[in-house]
């Protein structure tokens, strides 16, 4: 089976959680699955920008990205964060190849059209998964940072959830799993919703039950499902050990997003 796993920056801050996630991914590969790991690094990028004297600004969960912020994102996401994940997998004997979305022209982006303008924030418009296929044939895990190259020659900061959904659709993944620092999607009563239909997402947005970073995440879930990904689940990183059982047994953690 093919899995795309998205790992958020907050999880990368916790050495034990990172260890658990890397072990679960290594186990998936050991069981004969192909796994692509897509990662963010918002926490690390915000910290670096603060050290540079820049204040981070977000609109609807997306980072406003001027040229200096974009260059910092290249350095942090495609550099330190990406290579730390390669090292974490290597610690479990699992070979991995670190990439940005621009390497091999795997993902092409265009500037995201928004009001107000977000700067160098992009959205994926094309993909070529041949490099991912080549890495899988070697038994390795492609580790992809959420940076993509535009047709205008500029690099764009892409929301990592959107990148993961695009990756899952491009490689016809059987499952897309978002490993997060939250237990799942909470409903109006504050309880975690074990099942969520894509038809419910807009209602939850309008009533502001979901806000901030959960907005692009659920939008990415919807896009993945509409592009043929069979299963999409938001799963707390602390239970990453259940990943190898996700498609073969009943998993009660997190939120399963489904087409109605």
Q: What six digits make up the tokens of 145?
A: 């940072």
Residue 244 pLDDT > 90:
no
Question: For position 142, what pLDDT does the model report?
Answer: 98
Rounded average pLDDT over 150-174: 95
Task: Name the binding residues for substrate.
Answer: 41-42, 63, 157
Phi, psi for 181 (deg, rounded to 5): -100, 15
Q: What six digits make up the tokens of 246?
A: 């996700």
The pTM of this model reads 0.93
Contact assessment for residue 108 and residue 149, using Cβ atoms and an 8 Å cutoff: yes
Q: What is the DSSP string of 139-202?
A: T-EEEEESEEEETTS-EEEE-HHHHHHHHHHHTT-SEEEEEESSSS-B-TTSSBPSEEEHHHHH
Q: What six digits make up the tokens of 28?
A: 């998936």
Domain ranges in the chain?
2-258
CA atoms of 166 and 168, how far apart (whole Å): 5
Task: Name the binding residues.
Answer: 41-42, 63, 157
Question: For position 247, what pLDDT does the model report?
Answer: 67
Altogether, the residues listed in the chain come to a count of: 260
Q: What is the CATH number of domain 2-258?
A: 3.40.1160.10
Sorting pLDDT into bands at 50, 70 and 90, what band is 121?
very high
Contact assessment for residue 85 and residue 39, using Cβ atoms and an 8 Å cutoff: yes
pLDDT, tens only, 60-82: 888 999 999 999 999 999 999 99
């Amino acid at each position: 089976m093919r899995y795309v796993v998205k790992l958020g920056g907050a999880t990368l801050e916790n050495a034990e959680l990172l260890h658990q996630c890397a072990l679960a991914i290594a186990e998936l590969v050991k069981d004969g699955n192909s796994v692509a790991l897509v990662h963010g690094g918002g926490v690390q990028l915000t910290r670096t920008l603060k050290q540079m004297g820049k204040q981070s600004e977000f609109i609807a969960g997306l980072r406003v990205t001027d040229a200096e912020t974009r260059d910092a994102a290249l350095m942090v996401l495609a550099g330190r964060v990406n290579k730390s994940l390669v090292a974490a997998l290597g610690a479990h004997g699992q070979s991995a190849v670190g990439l940005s979305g621009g390497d091999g022209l795997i993902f092409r982006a265009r500037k995201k059209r928004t009001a107000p303008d977000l700067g160098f924030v992009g959205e994926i418009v094309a993909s070529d998964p041949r490099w991912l296929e080549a890495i899988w044939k070697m038994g390795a895990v492609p580790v992809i940072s959420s940076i993509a190259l535009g047709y205008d020659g500029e690099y764009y900061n892409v929301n990592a959830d959107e990148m993961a959904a695009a990756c899952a659709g491009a490689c016809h993944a059987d499952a897309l799993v978002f490993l997060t620092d939250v237990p799942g999607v909470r409903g109006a009563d504050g309880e975690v919703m074990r099942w969520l239909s894509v038809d419910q997402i807009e209602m939850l947005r309008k009533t502001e039950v979901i806000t901030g970073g959960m907005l692009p995440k659920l939008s990415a879930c919807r896009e993945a499902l509409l592009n043929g990904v069979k299963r999409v689940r938001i799963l707390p990183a602390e239970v990453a050990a259940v990943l190898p059982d996700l498609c073969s047994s009943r998993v009660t953690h997190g939120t399963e997003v489904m087409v109605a």
